[in-house]
Amino acid sequence: MSELVDGGRESGLAGLGRTLRYLREKAEKSLGQLAQETAYDKSYLSRLEAGTRLSKMAVMEDLDRYYESGDLLVQLWKVARHDAFKDKYKEFMRLEATARTMEVFTLGVPGLLQTEEFAREVLSGLQATAEPDEGVEEQVAARLGRQLLLRRDPAPYVRFIIDEYAFRRPSVIAKTWDDQLLHIEAVALRPSAVLQVLPFATGAQHSVEGSLTVLWQKDGSAVAYKEGNGGGELIDDPGDVLRHRLSYDRLRDVALTPSDSLTFIRDVLEEHRS
């Protein structure tokens, strides 16, 4: 992970790592001694000092007590956490581009399935009559660029679970919504994609809040990425990834079958046209 962000400023994660190393050396402790006295793994502590890993806040609380540094490390951790969100989204994009299997759950139409006009409407805050904004156009181009991964050879296997809510909030422009529904239908018919609709009738699903994506690489490794009102989080701890995968499986089990989902989408399209 880069030590510099925003054109030269040291990242919060790098600053935290440098401070951890300074405190350890000031205490005249080796990494091995620190590991013994704190019960944290030596390689884990090394990654923290190198600025390549963001710990849980509780770890910083423990080390603040160990070094008698007040809440210095906790405060630096809060800064590092903000920078890490940016870095982790970049890492998610990198892993998404090489994933062999993708499992996606969203409350709205996923970015990977949005048409250009629908994406422009979403990214401009539904101000469909406003003049195009340069920043919005850059975001639209980036979103469409991500979709190229669905046409890789070989294409990744992708399962989409989309909440019914997405189909009950149409575009403000009739043709845009018509084209969007047709595009979702077309993707659902691809051999490398499976699409399921999570109907309102299943009730509240508390196992997943916001969106969730699980990425599987060719070597069998997996990460999860979830987004909500609090931002995005990349999860690589195997136990946590498994927990999110099980949550995804529960959504898959209660969602409409792929066949029934196609029927649902076609019914929505027919209702829209009538």
Interval 60-98: pLDDT, tens = 999 999 999 999 999 998 888 766 656 677 788 889 989
Pair type for strands 157-163 and 193-198: parallel
- Confidence at residue 133, expressed as pLDDT on a 0 to 100 scale: 66
Q: Do the domains spanning 4-87 and 99-273 agree at the CATH topology level?
A: no
pTM of the model: 0.68
Q: How confident is the model at residue 233 (pLDDT cuts 50, 70, 90)?
A: confident
For the chain, the domains span 4-87, 99-273
- Return d(Cα 274, Cα 271) in angstroms, integer: 5
Q: Does domain 4-87 have CATH number 1.10.260.40?
A: yes
Range 99-273 classified under CATH 1.10.760: no
More confident of the two residues 204 and 150: 150
Tell me, what's the pLDDT at 90? 78
pLDDT value for 6: 43
